[in-house]
Chains A and B, each alone.
Chain A
């Protein structure tokens, strides 16, 4: 069965802390996406990965194909990073399958 698991479900941290959100999937994939959803519902695509590592500003995403695992890191976290972060993968059936999301709250 094609499954995506994220951890933790909820994460609260102080401003400035280093944040890690994890995503594991059950079988081989074509690509993995990290998405950010703010209150109100709008979704922003942060990264698309099929191998290795990508960096954009304070955000870093890595993927280990052999381990079927990806991580999203946020350095020097800020209250504006507070959002739900969602991992989504494309399995062989080409349908985007979503994790349950990680609700991140950064306290000033």
Chain B
């Protein structure tokens, strides 16, 4: 079966711009969660969506937002990009909320802000 698909794989943006990342979960999975990975902070939880509703949010500024569509696909948006937003952004899908049946991760989107 198809895995979790993240697009694009690589992205270069300029400070002040905005960016939208996409995540298509495994068919039948209703939860999508997003994570940021940087060399300094490691992996950090951004937010989780389940049945089109944000169920949980990490400690990130309001510039980071997301949404989930009726087909469970999710998008993440970062507005007014800063250099520190350069990171690998990973999404994971799971059958139920909070990954209590396990997670499947996508390959990530590597965002570089210049």
Contact = CB atoms under 8 A, between A and B. Distances in A.
A86 interface: yes
Interface in A51-108: 86, 88, 90, 93-98, 100-101
A33 B45 contact: no
Given A41-B88, A42-B105, A94 B56 contact: yes
Contacts of A27: none
Interface residues of B, number: 26
B99 A100 contact: no
B102 A48 contact: yes
A42 B107 contact: yes
B58 A95 contact: yes
Interface in B50-102: 55-56, 58, 88, 90, 92, 97-102
A94 B44 contact: no
Contacts, number: 59
Given A41-B88, A48-B99, A88 B43 contact: yes
A90 B99 contact: yes
B42 A98 contact: yes
| Chain A at the B interface: SS class | strand
A95 B99 contact: no
Contact of A43 (B55, B58, B90): B90
B33 interface: yes
B97 A94 contact: yes
A97 B23 CA distance: 21
Contacts of B56: 93-95
A48 B56 CA distance: 20
B108 interface: yes
A31 B101 CA distance: 10
Contacts of B99: 31, 33, 48, 90, 96
A94 B45 CA distance: 11
A40 to B, nearest CB: 8
